[in-house]
Amino acid sequence: MEKSETSLILFVKIKKQNMLVWEYERSDNIKRISEFIDAIKIKSTLHALKEGGEIFNRQLVTIQVLYVSNIQEKMFSIWIGLDEENRGIIDSSKILKFLKSQGINLTSEHDIREFLEVFDRNNKNGLNQEEFFVLIIIVKQILVELLDINAVQSLFEEVYGIPWKSLSSIDVNSLKKILTEVR
């Protein structure tokens, strides 16, 4: 085998290995971007719920009542499955399991507490049926709908202090702050 043939074979092998590494890094980057977008969706939705307060919560309860019967039955069966002791309240550990089963992974204790505070209207460290149904509506919105630009703008400006429209885009410090908040 000549030197040029050996070089060509080595080149092809190295190129294949590099392509595998690039493909892995690409899929890892896509996963991280998806996680980042999901985190922004969650944060902006929670911020909108906090800002809307009781009025927004009442609107969601009304929406839930207007759902067709098969959706209401599905929501009720989820409730029954989680409220095994028939206490009328689902504790945070069961809610966390439900959220994970829906693809919402809250990792830090602070994120879990912050998420549940929005829905726990009476500070009982759990959710009653009405509160849980509102949670289901919001979870489905987070998973199905695109980013709500108004909610994200409010999150950036009011919570993170980052102007939505500026001459320069988000600077490194602002991006670092956002990444720290959503992790």
For residue 97, the model assigns a pLDDT of: 85
Indicate which CATH number applies to the domain containing 72. 1.10.238.10
Total structural domains within the chain:
1
pLDDT at 115: 77
| Of residues 173, 175, 103, 111, the one with CA closest to residue 144 | 103
Residue 113 confidence (pLDDT): 79
CA distance 111 to 109: 6
CA nearest neighbour of 75 among 142, 83, 85: 83
pLDDT (tens place) for every residue of the chain, 183 residues total:
555 666 666 666 776 776 666 666 777 777 777 777 777 777 777 787 777 777 777 777 777 776 777 888 888 888 889 888 888 888 888 888 888 888 777 776 777 777 788 887 777 778 888 888 888 888 887 777 666 777 778 877 887 777 777 656 666 777 777 777 766
Residue 149: CB atoms within 10 A of its CB come to 10
Please tell me the predicted confidence (pLDDT) of residue 168: 60
Q: Are 120 and 127 in contact (CB under 8 A)?
A: yes
Structural domain that includes position 71: 3-182
